[in-house]
Structure 1
Amino acid sequence: NAADFDAVFYPGGHGPLWDLAEDKHSIALIEAFAKADKPHGMVCHAPGVLRHVKVPDGKPLVEGRRVTGFTNSEEEAVGLTKVVPFLVEDTLK
């Protein structure tokens, strides 16, 4: 419940791309934090969890915002562009 916390933080690693990016509870939690204007942070691959997060008017949360995360070139450097379910950079552009 977002009302019980002051902020939410998602750690990096590849896991969030599989575990949290499509998870309806994760999406709803981030949307609740955004609606309440509470801090929400993600690092490395974790910004990929924002791919389906919307603001109350239905627009993507990341629309018109500067977002950082694992880049396509970084994914290419570790040889995982064909392994991950999506590329964070492409998804959040």
Structure 2
Amino acid sequence: MLRLVLQTVLVIMVILLTVAGLNVSNQGINQLTLEDRGPVLDIGVSHDHIQVVLAGDEYQWPWEGGKKLMVIAADLWNNGVDYLYKIWDIFNIVFLTGWLL
């Protein structure tokens, strides 16, 4: 069972890395040719719809749960930033202020 989960995760990671590579190369081609083609794959969520871009074609679906998701995401983001600031404060005190010297 664990082996199946690991294989699935690895396959998903390979697919995501491939899509990311295609998006990067597409952006490079856009800069060289001065074209403005969309990304190969892009998924975006706003407060009122889900937006999917597939091979430059854009699709949107209305979504009513977006406001709740945005509030939850903002809370998670703020908690993560606060946690990183606390880690930075500890690092700064211990290693950068010469506290150990």
TM-score relative to the length of structure 1: 0.27
* RCO comparison, higher one (Cα < 8 Å, 6+): 1
Q: Which has the higher helix share?
A: 2
TM-score relative to the length of structure 2: 0.25
Larger Rg: 2
